[in-house]
């Protein structure tokens, strides 16, 4: 950024053809905000906490930066522009309430324990019924439903008699019965800043500048503390009774999985993502059948949150480098292209576990030291760590898994040395 | 929006604690833009067209609104704030160039044919090598690589001898050999506006207002025509020789698939998404083995671009309504919650086909009338339409498929009547 300051006093708003009405470029304290509810993040009582209002319809009600639906807010804007969606549509929330009650848990009343989810996001229609009746446009940021899921890998586990249907968790037809939860990000900026050990001002400014100027209110409205970022959220799949997640006496099997479309959907053999995910689902089903509860928390953080374009550029660089794809150069190639090895920031990840009331994960189906450190660092106990069975690691994915083990991933075997790593080779680009 | 205009002349930027330097709230014509290359969208020659520069490092070079990596730009900003990523990191693009050449095709030189992708996005390191050497921070928005993909459904098709390995498209071990491509959205706003039959000013203003004020430059900088929106992009999986996609003499089997994480990854039985996708992959492999070429174009448009929270709210409303989940109420429940049936906007979807040079899709593995209309309306010929085999439709997904057929989805059977639809029932919430 250039060091000179140019505040937009001379904005050529008139350059926009045929304005329908005056455009309000950004919002300011005291400007029509009389009707915006105050948010007291971490207050135990939802009325005292106050609703999150991200409506684009009634600007005076807004108490956040950004809007609902994560990055899909851009599509909603397109729908309005195209004339498909009526400006000011209010969601009819009839019959949409959660199929299962989650919380409230004591963790919800600790402002710094949950900073990236609105704990009341699933129940706005009931806890803020009075405000909605008064005309406030309050929308759920969490939805809870039931589903049957049917995966070929689970059918295979049944064929090999590793899993047996019980009519409750796993049906005769191979379907598993789950509760599933979708969550949108709701960031309380003071708490997010503390997680990353930066000042709130520095966080706000960097979010603004490094996105090329998204949401000037990040820097002009320090009085608005909540940001609905235009990013993907999370999905939870719960096997067994969701209430058991908060009971440390019930064995919890859990995997925290970060999206990898290429493997999760298409079965790319360069990584272990889908095999590990489906193994975790098998573990969750077994655990729930034995009286425990299972949890898959799936985050939309494609390619270590670098995005898929960067990921594919790295694949090419790995496979073309002198000496070919090898485990000792695994992280280096990502760093050369992206500047970092990873942008997933497990710092915010435990929030969803605290939302569920989790105090102990008895069986963590993950080898990631970053995830383990984030979970235990947030005060959740972890028992056993379950590695991916060797038989499930695709040949071309050995480069990744060995590099990660050398870098600190959990293993019950030996940690490869530098020269071991140099000998772990992947396929070329063919 | 309130009708009064308040331009941010009185922005309390000083409310941000301890600013490192003056903050530039937004950009203005003539303000340090001397170094920004001009973009002449649709120019046949890439130098005349000019590079897309979305860097956050050298503001004077920028000729777009927004930044790279779609919604992952927010994570990159977090990485800088947290001190993990050096401000101003430049990607080392060594060895990252595309594994396969795509284009240039005549379609690239038609400004209105491709409005949401930068056709030169895969080859910036070569076509803009001189500008990069001069210090311009030009990044790829497209990456092309090779992969082997291994899906249980393809192994099953081999077990039933519907597919046989040929050592080229399908290997003995069950892996299919693909070229895959990741694409970030690059919107040329004048062209996007024309696609939706709105004025550019109206589009810009609505994108700004209905996102809660994202990127004021949308309304203040009508001279900047290109927007990098913070949304998900697309991934292509190509079976056979990618060059054949542009040859209408070679049989092209193609599916345009919109993301559905619940089915694509987890096998939820409420819809046909994964079964139709894996059937399409089987068709693509067969087609490529017979001398044709196959294409899966996967778009990140979760839940009809409504996002997963809205999707799950709709599931609850469908299954709890009086009379239970039934095909005649299928679209109504989405409209009640979201205000529209669908926000996917197939209007922009054909761009990627024109980028590939596609002139004819011989076998379109899709029943969607919206997709068919968008593809043929953009000048691409469509031959046969391949419906999902009945045996692959999960029982609970009949509600969706019958409702869609009644609403115009392709079928070679009979179209259900209103009373037929009322009789197609889904499972309750259990």
Q: Each residue of B88-104: pLDDT tens digit?
A: 889 999 999 999 999 99
Please give the ipTM for the structure prediction: 0.92
Two structure tokens written together for A158: 């049944």
Q: What is the mean pLDDT of residues B4-31?
A: 41
Give the position of tokens 């899921």: A149
The DSSP-derived string for A47-107 is HHH------SS-GGG--EEE-SSGGGHHHHHHHHHTTSS-TT-----TT-S-SS-----GG
- Is the Cβ of A12 closer than 8 Å to some Cβ of chain B? yes
Residue B3's pLDDT is 32
Question: Over B308-326, what HEC string results?
Answer: HHHHHHHHHHHHHCCCCCE
Bigger pLDDT: A430 vs B198: B198
Question: Within 10 A of B357 (CB to CB), how many other CB atoms are there?
Answer: 20
Strands (E) across B150-232 are located at: 176-183, 187-188, 226-228
Partners of residue B97 in chain A, C-beta under 8 Å: 316
Are the beta carbons of A175 and B194 closer than 8 angstroms? no
Please state, in angstroms and rounded to a whole number, the distance separating the CA atoms of residues B143 and A208: 27
Residue A67's pLDDT is 96
Q: What is the CA radius of gyration of chain A?
A: 24
Task: Check pLDDT > 60 for residue A399.
Answer: yes
Question: Do A212 and B148 lie within an 8 Å CB cutoff?
Answer: no
DSSP assignment letter at B140: -
Please state, in angstroms and rounded to a whole number, the distance separating the CA atoms of residues B341 and B332: 8
Q: What is the mean pLDDT of residues A315-336?
A: 91
Sheet holding B293-299, edge to edge: B142-149, B176-183, B234-239, B293-299, B252-258, B360-364, B381-385
Two structure tokens written together for A221: 């409205």
Q: What is the mean pLDDT of residues B126-134?
A: 95
Phi, psi of A375 (to 5 degrees): -70, -50
Two structure tokens written together for A271: 């990584």
Residues 6+ apart with CB under 8 A from A344: A258, A299, A301, A304, A305, A370, B75
Q: Each residue of A373-383: pLDDT tens digit?
A: 999 999 999 99
Q: Each residue of B224-254: pLDDT tens digit?
A: 999 999 999 999 999 999 999 999 999 999 9
Instruction: Out of A7, A212, A219, name the one closest to residue B54 (CB).
Output: A212
Phi, psi of B269 (to 5 degrees): -95, 15
Residue A2's pLDDT is 34
Active-site residue flag, A10: no
Which of the four pLDDT bands, split at 50, 70 and 90, describes residue A341?
confident
Q: What is the CA radius of gyration of chain B?
A: 24
Residues of chain A with pLDDT > 90, as a percent, come to 82
Residue B11's pLDDT is 34
Please state, in angstroms and rounded to a whole number, the distance separating the CA atoms of residues A337 and A314: 7
Residue B342's pLDDT is 86
For the stretch B42-45, contacts whose Cβ atoms lie closer than 8 Å and that sit 24 or more positions apart, written own/partner, are: B42/B108, B42/B109, B42/B110, B42/B111, B42/B112, B42/B113, B43/B109, B44/B104, B44/B108, B44/B109
Two structure tokens written together for A214: 């998204």
The nearest CA of chain A is from the CA of B341 a distance in Å of 9
Partners of residue A209 in chain B, C-beta under 8 Å: 23, 56, 77
Question: Do B75 and A343 lie within an 8 Å CB cutoff?
Answer: yes
Residues of chain B with pLDDT > 70, as a percent, come to 92
Residue B322: cis peptide before it, omega within 30 degrees of 0? no
Partners of residue A70 in chain B, C-beta under 8 Å: 71, 307
- Assign residue A348 a region: left if phi > 0, alpha if psi is -120 to 50, beta otherwise? alpha
Task: Check pLDDT > 80 for residue B26.
Answer: no
Two structure tokens written together for B129: 């090598």
Q: Each residue of B48-75: pLDDT tens digit?
A: 999 999 999 888 999 999 999 999 999 9
Question: Within 10 A of A364 (CB to CB), how many other CB atoms are there?
Answer: 24
B-proximal residues of A, 44-63, CB under 8 Å:
54, 56, 59-60, 62
Task: Check pLDDT > 60 for residue A178.
Answer: yes
Q: How far is CA A222 from the centre of its chain?
A: 25
Question: Do A339 and B268 lie within an 8 Å CB cutoff?
Answer: no
Which of the four pLDDT bands, split at 50, 70 and 90, describes residue B429?
confident
Residue B95's pLDDT is 94
Among residues A221, A223, A25, A81, which one has the least CA distance to residue B1?
A25
Are the beta carbons of B306 and B313 closer than 8 angstroms? no
- Assign residue A146 a region: left if phi > 0, alpha if psi is -120 to 50, beta otherwise? beta
Residue B65's pLDDT is 98
Q: Each residue of A37-57: pLDDT tens digit?
A: 999 999 999 999 999 999 998
Question: Average pLDDT over chain A, rounded to whole?
Answer: 91
B-proximal residues of A, 297-336, CB under 8 Å:
298, 301-302, 305-317, 319-321, 336
Task: Check pLDDT > 60 for residue A18.
Answer: no
Please give the C-alpha separations between residue B393 and each of A147, B276, B401, in angstroms, as whole numbers: 16, 8, 8
Residues 6+ apart with CB under 8 A from B291: B250, B251
Residue A38, classified by CB atoms within 10 Å of its CB into exposed (0-12), middle (13-18) or buried (19+), is exposed
Are the beta carbons of B371 and B276 closer than 8 angstroms? no
Instruction: Out of A13, A146, A213, name the one closest to residue B215 (CB).
Output: A213
Residue A5's pLDDT is 31
Are the beta carbons of B319 and B428 closer than 8 angstroms? yes
Q: Each residue of A198-223: pLDDT tens digit?
A: 999 999 999 999 999 999 999 999 99
Are the beta carbons of A367 and A405 closer than 8 angstroms? yes
pTM, entire model: 0.93
Which of the four pLDDT bands, split at 50, 70 and 90, describes residue B9?
very low
Residue A429's pLDDT is 87
Active-site residue flag, B342: yes
Within A120-199, where are the H helices? Answer: 124-127, 129-133, 152-159, 189-195
Within B270-350, where are the H helices? Answer: 273-289, 302-305, 308-320, 330-338
Q: Between helices B273-289 and B152-159, what is the axis angle to 10°?
A: 60
Give the position of tokens 């105050």: A38
Question: Within 10 A of A103 (CB to CB), how many other CB atoms are there?
Answer: 17
């Amino acid at each position: 950024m250039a060091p000179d300051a140019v505040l937009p006093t001379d904005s050529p708003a008139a350059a926009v053809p045929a304005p329908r009405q005056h455009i309000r470029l950004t919002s300011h304290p005291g400007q029509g905000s009389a009707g915006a509810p105050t948010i007291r993040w971490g207050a135990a009582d939802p009325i005292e906490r106050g609703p999150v209002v991200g409506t684009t319809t009634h600007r005076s009600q807004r108490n956040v930066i950004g809007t609902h639906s994560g990055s899909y807010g851009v599509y909603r804007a397109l729908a309005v522009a195209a004339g498909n969606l009526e400006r000011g549509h209010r969601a009819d929330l009839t019959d949409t309430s959660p199929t299962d009650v989650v919380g409230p848990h004591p963790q919800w009343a600790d402002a710094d324990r949950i900073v990236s989810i609105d704990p009341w996001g699933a129940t706005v229609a009931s806890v803020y019924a009075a405000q909605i009746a008064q005309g406030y446009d309050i929308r759920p940021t969490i939805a809870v439903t039931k589903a049957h899921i049917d995966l070929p890998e689970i059918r295979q586990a049944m064929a090999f008699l590793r899993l047996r249907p019980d009519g409750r968790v796993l049906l005769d037809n191979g379907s598993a019965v789950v509760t599933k939860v979708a969550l949108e990000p709701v960031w309380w900026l003071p708490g997010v800043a503390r997680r990353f050990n930066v000042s709130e001002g520095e966080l706000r400014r960097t979010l603004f500048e490094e996105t090329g100027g998204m949401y000037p209110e990040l820097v002009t409205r320090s009085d608005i503390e909540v940001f609905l970022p235009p990013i993907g959220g999370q999905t939870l799949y719960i096997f067994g009774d969701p209430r058991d997640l908060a009971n440390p006496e019930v064995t919890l099997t859990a995997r925290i999985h970060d999206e990898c479309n290429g493997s999760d959907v298409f079965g790319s053999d360069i990584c272990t993502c889908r095999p590990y995910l489906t193994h975790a689902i098998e573990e969750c089903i077994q655990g729930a059948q034995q009286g425990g509860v299972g949890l898959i928390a799936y985050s939309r953080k494609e390619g270590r949150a670098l995005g898929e374009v960067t990921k594919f550029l790295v694949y090419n660089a790995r496979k073309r480098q002198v000496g070919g794809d090898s485990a000792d150069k695994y992280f280096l190639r990502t760093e050369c292209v992206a500047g970092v090895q990873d942008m997933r920031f497990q710092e915010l990840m435990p929030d969803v576990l605290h939302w569920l009331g989790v105090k102990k994960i008895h069986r963590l189906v993950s080898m990631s030291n970053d995830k383990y450190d984030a979970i235990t660092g947030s005060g959740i106990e972890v028992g056993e760590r379950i590695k991916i069975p060797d038989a499930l690691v695709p040949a071309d994915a050995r480069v990744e898994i060995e590099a990660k083990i050398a870098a600190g991933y959990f293993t019950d075997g030996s940690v490869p040395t530098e020269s071991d790593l140099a000998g772990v080779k992947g396929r070329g680009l063919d």
